[in-house]
Chains A and B, each alone.
Chain A
Amino acid sequence: MDDIKRKYVIPGDVITTGPYRAEENVNLVGDRIIATTVGISEIYESGVRVIPLTGMYVPRIDDFIIGIVKSHTSLSWELDMRSCYPGILPAQDVFGRDFNPKVDELTSRLKKGDLVAARIANFDRSRDPLITIGDRDLGKIEEGELVKISPSKVPRLIGKRGSMIQTIESATKALITIGQNGYIVVSCEEPEGLLKALDAIRMIEEHAHVPNLTEKIQEMLGSNSE
């Protein structure tokens, strides 16, 4: 932890010069490593990367995401997942192998506006990301409140080994489902717990770059319950 050097950067800032590996959101020009987005740069061991503070979600294979059904064709649904591409959910994935477009009506399973917990099955430059719900805990989300945060702040919301999210869940008794794309569904039996969890998420979104955030959230949740 201690040997990671952090710095606030904007596009064009020279992070370092030297024998480092250029990783995410940086550009190697000669021997200079230049940031390409607004964020926090990290220099560790041999690599340099920038954690973005703004921007869209970039799909990655195996990411868990939450999508909103936008439209459908006779063979697949199109999901909004806060990316520059729509997620494609094939009808076969939902109806099973004996899916028949002549018989099965897609809207009987998923309608426009429905929330879906899914995983990215395949994605490359040449086509739109293919998503799947054929796994445990995936599928249509029946209830809960949708919150949208910046995808770059998702790791902060989860915290180190899930510490942040556990703090919120245990203090509010809410069930929080986090998609890597920044869509979050919060459900809670008690309306008070729901409101508190939503407040905590919004606070994390606003103060994502502030150190010791977990303690601050604990303080906030603790003081509210008294």
Chain B
Amino acid sequence: MGVRKSDIVLLDDKGIRCDGRKIDEPRNIMIKAGVLKNANGSAYIEFGENKILAGVFGPRDVHPKHLANTDRGILRCRYHMQPFSVSERKNPAPSRREIEISKVIKEALEPAVMLENFPRTVVDVFIEILQADGGSRCAALDAAAVALADAGIPMRDMVSACAAGKVADTIVLDINNEEDQEGQADMPVAYMPNLEKVTLLQLDGVLTQAEYKKCVETAINGCKIVYEVQKKALKDKFFGDSPQ
């Protein structure tokens, strides 16, 4: 914002990016599970400059009742940005973008959550973006998956998400806000690491076939890094003080 395209060096001669990372290096990730008392499950994530809180309720009674499904549970998801999460106040009413992200996060979690075990119920996932930097949908998804596991909702696998993109004609992992705005492509990917299945794949920008393939591979490698952090967060909460 306020910086012209020519002012910012996205990738220098040594392969170092505008925030000092290498091309295959993600930002710092920290996840904490079980941070809220009143929700059944919760998680807090710091993904670079992103700060996100996720809370899960359920399985519980569906209201309004007509939404209930008699042979499986339903998943509802809300992605919401706080007015102070961006540099200029954001109207707290759900925007077109937030509604879309809520939908894609729901659809990315659905293959993992075993809703068929809980007919006539709902699992609610609430995600609050406290501070936004590029790639908040991936970070939100990571927090939501940890919160679901914390709530004890049966899952086929964890869902880990990470973005990759094209910046200065190079495929890089985990693009930040500047790279998102000035770069050539952005590809968020969500992945189930043990089942080796992709649950979310979006692409904004233009890539050749070879670049596309490389971009997906890079993003999946990022997901695997995120998975280790998610695993640690859950193990710290549940098995923290015992050996093994």
Contact = CB atoms under 8 A, between A and B. Distances in A.
Contacts of B174: none
A85 B60 CA distance: 7
Given A38-B234, A54-B150, A11 B59 contact: no
A29 B195 contact: yes
A87 B71 CA distance: 19
Interface string B208-244: 0000000000000000000000010011001100101
Contact of A12 (B40, B60, B121, B158): B158
A54 B151 CA distance: 6
A10 B153 contact: no
A52 B60 contact: no
A12 B194 contact: yes
A56 interface: yes
Contacts of A13: 194
Interface in A35-58: 36-38, 52-56
Nearest to A29: B195
Interface of B: 40-41, 58-61, 70-71, 112, 114, 118-121, 149-158, 192-195, 231, 234-235, 238-239, 242, 244
9 contacts: A10-B149, A10-B231, A11-B157, A11-B158, A12-B155, A12-B157, A29-B195, A32-B194, A84-B61
Contacts of A84: 58-61, 118, 121
B152 A52 contact: yes
Contact of A54 (B114, B121, B238): B238
Contact of A11 (B60, B149, B235, B239): B149
Interface in A63-112: 84-86
Contact of A34 (B41, B149, B157): B157
Interface residues of A, number: 27
Given A10-B158, A12-B193, A84-B58, A55 B239 contact: no
A14 B194 contact: yes
Nearest to B145: A11
Contacts of B60: 84
A34 B154 contact: no
Given A8-B244, A11-B154, A55-B153, A34 B239 contact: no
Contacts of B195: 12, 29, 34
A125 interface: yes
A32 B220 CA distance: 21
B154 A37 contact: yes
A25 B152 CA distance: 10
A3 B126 CA distance: 43
A7 B156 CA distance: 18
B236 to A, nearest CB: 11
Interface in A190-226: 209-210
B152 A34 contact: no
A25 B238 CA distance: 17
Contact of B152 (A14, A37, A209): A37
B194 A54 contact: no
A52 B155 CA distance: 12
A29 B193 CA distance: 13
Contacts of B151: 54-55
A38 B150 contact: yes
Interface in A9-27: 10-14, 25, 27
Nearest to A25: B154
B156 A8 contact: no
Most buried by B among A12, A32, A126, A209: A12
B215 to A, nearest CB: 24
Given A54-B151, A125-B119, A34 B194 contact: yes
Nearest to A14: B194
B234 A10 contact: yes
